Amino acid sequence: MSNLIKTIDTTDCLEGIESVCDIEGGRISGEIFYDQKIYEQELEKVFARCWLFVGHESQIKKTGDYITTTMGEDEVIVIRQKSGGVKVLLNACPHRGNKVCFSESGSTRGFICNYHGWSFNVEGNLIGQHESGIYEDSNFDKSKWGLKEVAKVDSYKGLIFATFDPDSPTLEEYLGPMTWYLDSLFDNQEGGTEFVGGCIRSTYECNWKIAAENFVGDILHAGWTHDSAARAMLGGSVAKVSDFDESYSVNWNGHGYEFALDTVGNVAVLGDSQLNKYLHTIKPSVAERLGEFRSNMIGSVSSCTIFPNFSFLAGQNTVRIWQPRGPNKIELFTWVVVNKSAPQDIKDRWRKGAMMTFSPTGVFEMDDGENWEYCTKTAKGKVTAKQDLFIGLGMDTYLEDTDLPANVYKGQLNEANSRAFYQRWQDLLQAKSWAEVPNRNKGKAEVEK
Amino acid sequence: MEKVYLCKATDLEANQVKKIENNTFGDIAVYNLGGQFYATADLCTHATASLAEGDIEDDMIVCPVHWGMFHIPSGEAQGFPCETDLQTYPVEVVGDEVFAVIEVDENIIAKA
Amino acid sequence: MNSKDQQLTPVSMEMHYKVTGFLNMEYRLLDEERFSEWLTLMADDIHYWMPGIENRRRENLLSEGFYDPNHMAFFDDNITDLSRRVARFAQPSAWAENPATRNVHTLSNVEVFEGESESELLVYSVFQSVRSRGQDEEYVIFGRRRDLLVKSGDSFKIRKRLILMPNATLSCKNINTFL
């Protein structure tokens, strides 16, 4: 237990957050995308507190398999233990702080710091140093100087999350009833999912919230922003979302999922009929497993963000983290998720299709980047940053009378999820501890297991 | 010449290594490589580390601390950062008992 | 990409001259946004491949070192995929292409060798792509390339292209060009 990360003292909350983020009034200010002081607060009160996605179980199958990632701007190693569990360790040597693992993934007996030869095993314990006799002469206690371990690690259906905050709610409480919706992608077949090999990393000059919010509930942009990609891939425009009979925006604790029930609207843009066919083939078994409703979501027009920065698209099967790198920069990590039980050919088609559409060379993503960068960059102007930005669509769409879990809003062309996302962000920034974070959920918390 | 009892042959499975504490000659690592027994000093020649806690890869022992390697039959240092060869001891198996045969010479007595 | 174990036989000076001329022409078409014409330089069975580069330790390399054919890739395209990318450039709603991206592609270190059959040629080269967008954006990508060309009348078609940049993290938001 001595290797647990020392918790950081919470600094005072910034004054005036209400004025840049007025959710009931349906407005925010561009300042929240460019201000360094706000960003420093986010690293501490959002990223050092929330459960953050750190990897998929399938990426680290055997003892010693590891991936490196970041939690906020903190570098961590996610490594499979002999016990079968997973540890998340700070990627920093406790001697002078040097990075101990310089590769993005691999399999190892442990990590040896390049600086003074401090050597750590897969559990992060310090097991020796170069010139070990010198340390013994100084009565050095090795057991106290292992790699620091994050407060909590847990996983849900293959998705591994970690938090630096020992006082955070459990992962189950944190995700709440959103898991019911997550299952439509991550547990629609026996055996669950796996990530395709590799991780594509790219750099945007945008604020992390712009990207996260785009996936939390902004299907509205798709019909306009992505017209060119849809015409290229489908030979016509994207599905007119306002034509759908039934669609929803659901959220909980700042997470949001917006979706239609058209089964294949998202997968269709990959332009590969074999993938549509696969989803239609598995649909009856999904209905048996998860019920009719969620079998309509497996590749439907939809998007999701788990607060703060983990997003995915069912159908395109792109999974991503928007890693914060300053107020106006992110590093984007993307992966492709597939059903473990799918035929290899189908997995390969998804790998190619996801990259063809949502990657730095993806025809859809191509038109997102510039929008996000300039939503951020315009806020460089002090006057511009103080202007109101409208975020008020669908103010009166909350559904009281529904059996669906979480906070449910009618229609996916709706800014309800975006508002819930920024509300949660504001709540965290204004809270000195988890106990002070208000519970704003009003929908059904329980889900059938 | 001294015969030091190490362990029962049946107590050490194939491709396993075990540390035998010995205050006179220094701890000894005994190995079973596919039925053939070997013995070496247990202390790594580079830094403080018990080789018995390392992994056997073919006929090499990999030090658990800095992953240097020694050839088990000859004790030869074969991987950075290990440069000094490891003391080896001839092994005798009598019935089910494994012994190391140690030449009593002040120069090779490792620190206890 | 590793040429170490390959039997490499350089082509004649005349053939070398023709090949470099062809590749320079290809880059001129890209810089002038003549994508449909560019597409005609591809063989029907083109494999246009730019794998993702993974930063891994020497003892944990992938099947091709820093990349793997079964892993994620920036491009892993056949002729249909390339046609779709070209089709996007042609849309008036390709918002991020208006104002246009201004491109300069250069090719150097060109080495041309005989291919496995008489009709094929193996070309190693180094590329540089400079893109400028908007008022002040500039993106530079360097890398190595291995092309398999097939003779076609007086000219060539591109049958295989392997594009390797050294970066494990793309330092910009996209690659809205061909390399």
Q: Are A32 and A39 in contact (CB under 8 A)?
A: no
Q: What is the DSSP letter of A45?
A: I
For B38-95, what is the HEC assignment?
EEEECECCCCCCEHHHCEEECCEEECCCCCCEEECCCCCECCCCCCCCCCEECEEEEC
Chain B residues near residue A130 by CB distance under 8 angstroms? 46-47, 66, 81
> Of all helices (H) and strands (E), which one includes residue B28?
strand B28-33
Task: Name the average pLDDT for chain C.
Answer: 96
pLDDT of residue C2: 77
Angle at C146 between CA C145 and CA C147, to 5 degrees: 115
Q: Strands of B97-102's sheet, edge to edge?
A: B2-8, B97-102, B91-94
Taking an 8 Å cut-off on Cβ atoms, the answer to whether A117 and B47 are in contact is yes
How close does chain B come to A122, measured CA to CA in Å? 11
Q: Quick count: other Cβ atoms within 10 Å of Cβ A405?
A: 20
Q: Are C98 and C134 in contact (CB under 8 A)?
A: no
Is A130 an annotated catalytic residue? Answer: no
Chain C residues near residue A348 by CB distance under 8 angstroms? 70
Q: Is C30 helix (H, G, I), strand (E, B) or coil?
A: helix
**Nearest-CA neighbor of A251 among A23, A71, A20?**
A23
Tokens of A62: 């055997």
Domains and CATH numbers, chain A: 51-164 (2.102.10.10), 176-436 (3.90.380.10)
Angle at A437 between CA A435 and CA A440, to 5 degrees: 125
How close does chain A come to B66, measured CA to CA in Å? 6
Where does C20-136 show beta strands of DSSP type E?
A: 42-51, 73-77, 102-114, 120-133
Chain B residues near residue A129 by CB distance under 8 angstroms? 47, 65
Taking an 8 Å cut-off on Cβ atoms, the answer to whether C170 and A200 are in contact is yes
Chain A residues near residue B65 by CB distance under 8 angstroms? 119, 127-129, 132
Chain A residues near residue C96 by CB distance under 8 angstroms? 366-367, 369-370
Tokens of C49: 């491949």
Tokens of A407: 């906070």
Exposed, middle or buried by CB within 10 Å (0-12, 13-18, 19+), for C134?
A: middle
**Nearest-CA neighbor of C11 among C153, C151, C108?**
C151
**Nearest-CA neighbor of C176 among C135, C129, C142, C125?**
C129
How close does chain A come to C125, measured CA to CA in Å? 22
Tokens of A57: 């179980």
Nearest residue, CB atoms, C54 vs list A196, A198, A231: A198
In the predicted structure, residue B104 carries a pLDDT above the cut 80: no
Distance CA(A369)–CA(A358), nearest Å, equals 11
Nearest residue, CB atoms, B47 vs list A110, A121, A128: A128
Taking an 8 Å cut-off on Cβ atoms, the answer to whether A228 and C94 are in contact is yes
Band of residue B111 on the pLDDT scale cut at 50, 70, 90: very low
Q: Are C163 and C66 in contact (CB under 8 A)?
A: no
Amino acid (1-letter code) at residue A80: R
pLDDT of residue B108: 53
Comparing alpha-carbon positions, the chain A residue that sits nearest to C171 is A203
- Per residue of chain A (449 residues), what is the pLDDT tens digit? 458 888 887 899 999 888 899 999 999 999 999 999 999 999 999 999 999 999 999 999 999 999 999 999 999 999 999 999 999 999 999 999 999 999 999 999 999 999 999 999 999 999 999 999 999 999 999 999 999 999 999 999 999 999 999 999 999 999 999 999 999 999 999 999 999 999 999 999 999 999 999 999 999 999 999 999 999 998 888 778 888 989 999 999 999 999 999 999 999 999 999 999 999 999 999 999 999 999 999 999 999 999 999 999 999 999 999 999 999 999 999 999 999 999 999 999 999 999 999 999 999 999 999 999 999 999 999 999 999 999 999 999 999 999 999 999 999 999 999 999 999 999 999 999 999 999 999 999 988 76
Comparing alpha-carbon positions, the chain C residue that sits nearest to A337 is C72
Is A116 an annotated catalytic residue? Answer: yes
Angle at C134 between CA C133 and CA C138, to 5 degrees: 40
Q: Is C42 helix (H, G, I), strand (E, B) or coil?
A: strand
> Of all helices (H) and strands (E), which one includes residue A209?
helix A208-217
Taking an 8 Å cut-off on Cβ atoms, the answer to whether A130 and B66 are in contact is yes
pLDDT tens profile C28-73: 999 999 999 999 999 999 999 999 999 999 999 999 999 999 999 9
Q: What is this model's ipTM?
A: 0.95
Amino acid (1-letter code) at residue A340: K
Q: Which residue has the tokens 């658990």?
A: B64
Q: Does domain C13-164 have CATH number 3.10.450.50?
A: yes
Tokens of B64: 């658990």
Nearest residue, CB atoms, C57 vs list A106, A199, A201: A106
Is A95 an annotated catalytic residue? Answer: no
Where does A113-264 show beta strands of DSSP type E?
A: 119-121, 126-128, 152-156, 159-163, 193-195, 200-204, 247-252, 255-260
Chain B residues near residue A112 by CB distance under 8 angstroms? 66-67
Q: Are A257 and A222 in contact (CB under 8 A)?
A: no
Nearest residue, CB atoms, C93 vs list A198, A227, A331: A227
Angle subtended by helix axes C79-89 and A227-234, to nearest 10: 150
Chain-centroid distance of CA A272 in Å reads: 27
Domains and CATH numbers, chain B: 2-108 (2.102.10.10)
- Per residue of chain C (179 residues), what is the pLDDT tens digit? 777 778 899 999 999 999 999 999 999 999 999 999 999 999 999 999 999 999 999 999 999 999 999 999 999 999 999 999 999 999 999 999 999 999 999 999 999 999 999 999 999 999 999 999 999 999 999 999 999 999 999 999 999 999 999 999 999 999 999 99
**Nearest-CA neighbor of C149 among C14, C34, C20?**
C20
**Nearest-CA neighbor of A338 among A79, A158, A85, A123?**
A158
Is A218 an annotated catalytic residue? Answer: yes
Taking an 8 Å cut-off on Cβ atoms, the answer to whether C87 and A365 are in contact is no
Band of residue B112 on the pLDDT scale cut at 50, 70, 90: very low
Query: CA torsion, points C58, C62, C64, C66, in degrees to nearest 10?
Result: -60
